[in-house]
Amino acid sequence: MDSSHVALVAQLLRSERFDRNLSMGMNLDNMAKMLKCTGNDDIITIKADDGSDTVNFMFESPRYEKKSSSSRDAIYVAVAYS
């Protein structure tokens, strides 16, 4: 954490579950609030369109047959993949 209380956290989501590799940044407070609303058996779909500055999250609860969605701003980071 730096003097302005900003921290960089790396979270790896394996690429075999995604269409392509993508590196982006997000506000962790917003992300934590969204994830606190989900249950252990809920399904989260993350979608980021090319050229878009937003990331869409769709939450599905099989237990309650409920769906909801939310969009958040993303910060894209240039990263070289090997």
Does a structural domain hold residue 23?
A: no
pLDDT for 39: 86
Q: Per the domain annotation, does 69 fall within a domain?
A: yes
Does any domain span residue 15?
A: no
Residue 70 placed within a domain: yes
Q: Is residue 9, in this structure, part of any structural domain at all? A: no
pLDDT at res. 60: 92
pTM of the predicted structure, to 2 decimals: 0.60
Tell me the pLDDT tens digit for each residue of 11-63.
777 767 777 777 777 777 888 888 888 888 898 888 877 677 888 888 998 88
Q: What angle is formed at CA 28 by the lines to CA 40 and CA 54, rounded to 5 degrees?
A: 95
In a domain, 6, yes or no: no
Number of domains in the chain: 1
Range of the domain at 64: 28-79
Q: How far are the Cα atoms of 8, 46, 71, 80 from residue 59, in angstroms, in the given order?
A: 25, 9, 11, 30
1 within some domain: no
